[in-house]
Structure 1
Amino acid sequence: MRSTVPAGTATGDTRHVTEPALPTTVCATVPAARTMPTRATDQGSETTPPDTIRIQHALDTCAQTGQQTVAVRLQATDSGHNAFLTGPLAVHRGEVLLLDSGVTLYGSRNPADYQISGKPRCGTLASSGGGCKPLISVAGANAGIEAVRAADGSQGRIDGRGDQTVLGTTTSWWQLATDAQKAGSNQNNPRLIQADDSDNFTLYHVDLLSSPNFHVVYNGGNGFTAWGVRIKTPAGARNTDGIDPAGATNVTITDSFIMDGDDGIAIKGGNRSSSNITVTNNHFYGTHGISIGSETTSGVTNVLFRDNTLTGTDALGTTSGSSTGIRIKSSPANGGRVTGVTYLNTCLDAVRAPLVFDTHYSGGSGPNAPWFTGITVDGVTATHSPSGAKSTLVGLDRTRPLELTLQHVNLDVTTATAANARITATDTNLHPSGPDVTLTTTNGPGAAPTCTFPAFPAL
């Protein structure tokens, strides 16, 4: 990996981000009262999760009005109790939900716990979604969800149990999502964590497992750090995005391992623009890529992806049917300007779609034209690409072409679909051609990265 950043590179997060530190002030400690070795418990507890009131009372009591951040600690006990079972929780301004190493917070399987009044029934298919609260909602500045990492690498975890049956049915949350796709409908499943307008929000050393829907959505805030996060959900679990900054600015996602059944990262600019985002030194397994879109109506600018690896197979050995590497996707249904995006040193293994720049995503139509400009891909190596692997480099039309720089790109499969693109290529074996494609080749120093792919950590 290179030690210097080329001139003209996107700069990403404007903050000087260093590794977070756990809060030094513990406002309240909630001791675990159970074990759940099979990730399930008795029917009465499943129907009325027993720890919701205890944890929420501590969070409400410790809510801060000042700048000092305090923790509500979920603690394992000397008697070996290490599990909590809860419905939706709200984390307030100035507080951190802190999990001991070895503690697991399990999400309720009762859809009634998540129901949003006036919305489609949670746990069902409907013509629209949005019927479920997230398991954990965060609002207000200087909040966090963090865990203690032990010397052996274990850390606290949150388990959404998306693989288990929705209470009162014979269908899991994940099966519900698959059924929705087959029916052309929408599943009403809860997200794991959603932070709204929460400036200076931190995720640190926490494991997130088996979310019924998206794992993390950071919506509308200024200042988000995800460091040492490990997400483990199978590649076949539909609509289980890893971390999605939306309408966000000054974001850093780093030193994390992400495995899920949709985008590993999806940066969105729908109702509000997203800008100044850094995604660095992360490892992805079986995902649909490090992505921008599809919502880009309000714009996405100044995004730096650096030193990331992506493999097309998850840690369970499941090969993703839609594995993707670098990806910007939108359409006239929800498009806008995406500009000033740099990908440095990206390593791909067994990925079906190495590079995707798609302005016609899902065939969407409407008045919101997507336009991708100032996109630089500098340093990509792809190995073990499956049969049929293909890249996509397609601008919207002649007046809004894809403007792309390719440097030091070495793909083992160079098949590509291209149209409406202005491409400058340096030291690359990808030379796309197609309708209204202009390719300019230059010479310059540098080389494609030499790659290693770390195994997903044992959780």
Structure 2
Amino acid sequence: MESHQLSCFYIALILACGGLLLSSSLAETVQFPALNCRKHTAYLTDFGGKGDGKTLNTAAFQSAIANLSKYASDGGAQLIVPPGKWLTGPFNLTSHFTLYIHKDAVTLGTQDISEYTIIPPLPSYGQGRDAPGPRMISLVFGTNLTDVVITGGNGTIDGQGEVWWEKFRKKELTYTRPYLIEIMYSKQIQISNLTLLNSPSWVVHPVYSSDIVIQDLTILAPIDSENTDGIDPDSCSNVRIWDNYIVSGDDCIAVKSGWDEYGIAVGMPTKHLSIKRLTCISPFSATIALGSEMSGGIQDVRAEDLKALNTESGVRIKTAPGRGGFVKDIYVRNAEYHTMKYVFWVSGEYNSHPDKGFDPTALPNITGINYSKINAKNVTIAGKLIGLEKDPFTGICISDATIEMRADDDDNKPKPAWNCTDISGVASSVTPKPCGQLVESQKPVVCEFPTDKLPIENVELTTCSAVIS
């Protein structure tokens, strides 16, 4: 080879290597915690996805997940949603699968209502929550799955729910609104490290499922948006909900298990639930609600290290005649509240029913409710504890609670701090002085909180990775 040809060869080689190095330097390796890592990786762009915020990517998501499902028995697969704005209709997940949304990626739910398939109502509800009959499928949906991870580097899923809120207000909806994420009849589920915005209705809804990790979510919706509950574990067991920040138009967390005669018939309780380090803002609803759809029962809920600002209530129990079921073995400790209407709110007056077929003699069993180490400021009412005349709520314990009452705006005097009927329990070191039905102990009492750990609390996530170019 002549010298000038050799020189050209080496120059071309150097440029090519430099190009490879440049391409490699532009690639980003991300690491994230997950229940399981995957052997195979694909990108939404591999299946025709376009992140321009205008192109509908439903077919790309569906095609990608269908193709990656083939690897379920070979180490599983992960689908990477790279930077961009990815408009899409609903899509179904698969088992042994990770959906990873990059920190600079926004998955946008289409506002074209015709894109949302109509599916049957939940068996434990008998009908949709917004309207009789069926309901719209959720944006991110899965059923009968094992080992599913929905995560990201704080990537975003935006449900663009304004069109549904407006139609709901105008009573123009034929079917119940979609949720943002719903997983049914599944196990080993993780939903984490995401920003979830503007859901048409409930945001995260695992139902009839077990072994669930929900953590490090930022969930945001306008405070006047209807029924935008943050996280709703529903007839689920062994669930942990840790380190979440929620601004909502409804309850930040709502624990459920079915509605009246339908929930009683299914009989699938939510139990063994750990909630830790929750921050909530919800001026018209609860930090944590138990019910009102609790007809399958709620048992063994452990909530601690709660913070709520400008939120209607702390941990609220909602039920009514016709619900049946039970709420028992509830433990709450270490709560900091600022600007709140009700700190303790337990009520048997939540009379909404799916239809006229409910049994008014099906009364709920509410017992074993424990609150300790509660500090609240700028409060209107310390406690509203209203049981049922033929079904008193028992075993309520409140200890080490300091509540600073707000002065009445009209006469600068505090309103009555407590309103209690048809309840019984004990109180210790509670200010202001509790109602007479809560007997003040002569000796200091610390309300119960379990010392053991739930199995889901011991689950450790592993560090996984993906390359994004």
* Correspondence for 2:80: 73
Structure 2: 5+ residue stretches without partners:
1-31, 122-127, 354-358, 406-415, 448-469
**1:56 paired to 2:62:** yes
Equivalences for residues 148-159 of structure 1 within 5 A: 148=153, 155-159=154-158
The C-alpha deviation readout for 1:60-94, integer Å capped at 9, x for no partner, is: 11115438442111112xxxxx1101001100111
* Correspondence for 1:111: 113
Q: What SS does structure 2 have at the residue aligned with 1:200?
A: strand
**1:421 paired to 2:394:** no
Out of 46, 51, 74, which is 1:34 matched to? 51
Report which of the two has the higher share of strand: 2
* Correspondence for 2:394: 402
Determine the C-alpha separation between the residues in 1 that align with 2:96 and 2:77.
6
Deviation at 1:358, TM superposition (A): 0.9
**1:370 paired to 2:372:** no
Q: How many residues align?
A: 380
Q: What SS does structure 2 have at the residue aligned with 1:143?
A: strand
* Correspondence for 2:440: 440
* Correspondence for 2:132: 128
Amino acid at match of 1:280: K
The C-alpha deviation readout for 1:374-397, integer Å capped at 9, x for no partner, is: 110011111123xx4453112223
Q: What SS does structure 1 have at the residue aligned with 2:404?
A: coil
* Correspondence for 2:166: 175
Amino acid at match of 1:290: I
Amino acid at match of 1:350: T
Deviation at 1:402, TM superposition (A): 3.1
Report which of the two has the higher share of helix: 2
In the TM superposition, structure 1's runs of 4+ consecutive aligned residues that sit over 4 Å from their partners are 124-127
Amino acid at match of 1:177: F
The C-alpha deviation readout for 1:168-187, integer Å capped at 9, x for no partner, is: xxxx222223334xx9x886
Q: TM-score, normalised by structure 2?
A: 0.75
The C-alpha deviation readout for 1:201-249, integer Å capped at 9, x for no partner, is: 0011011000011101110111110111110111110111100001100
Out of 279, 289, 293, which is 1:291 matched to? 289
Determine the C-alpha separation between the residues in 2 that align with 1:57 and 1:301.
40
CA distance 1:362–1:351, change in 2 (3 Å)? farther
Determine the C-alpha separation between the residues in 2 that align with 1:391 and 1:100.
44
Aligned residues of 1:200 and 1:222 also touching (Cα < 8 A): yes
Amino acid at match of 1:51: N
Determine the C-alpha separation between the residues in 1 that align with 2:77 and 2:387.
48
Deviation at 1:126, TM superposition (A): 7.6
The C-alpha deviation readout for 1:380-429, integer Å capped at 9, x for no partner, is: 111123xx445311222355433200001111236222111112111101
Amino acid at match of 1:273: P
Determine the C-alpha separation between the residues in 2 that align with 1:346 and 1:362.
28
Q: What SS does structure 2 have at the residue aligned with 1:291?
A: strand
CA distance 1:67–1:222, change in 2 (3 Å)? farther
The C-alpha deviation readout for 1:77-123, integer Å capped at 9, x for no partner, is: xxxxx11010011001111111111100000101111131689xxxx
Aligned residues of 2:254 and 2:291 also touching (Cα < 8 A): yes
CA distance 1:89–1:396, change in 2 (3 Å)? same
Aligned residues of 2:223 and 2:250 also touching (Cα < 8 A): yes
Determine the C-alpha separation between the residues in 2 that align with 1:396 and 1:118.
34
Alpha-carbon RMSD? 2.7
CA distance 1:29–1:442, change in 2 (3 Å)? farther
The C-alpha deviation readout for 1:240-263, integer Å capped at 9, x for no partner, is: 110000110000000111111111
* Correspondence for 2:14: none
Deviation at 1:337, TM superposition (A): 1.3
**1:236 paired to 2:224:** yes
Aligned residues of 1:418 and 1:432 also touching (Cα < 8 A): no
* Correspondence for 1:98: 100
Amino acid at match of 1:384: N
* Correspondence for 2:320: 331
Aligned residues of 1:223 and 1:251 also touching (Cα < 8 A): yes
CA distance 1:399–1:288, change in 2 (3 Å)? closer
Determine the C-alpha separation between the residues in 2 that align with 1:260 and 1:187.
22
Out of 192, 201, 204, which is 2:192 matched to? 204
Return the structure number with greater relative CO, CA threshold 8 A, min gap 6: 2
Bigger radius of gyration: 2
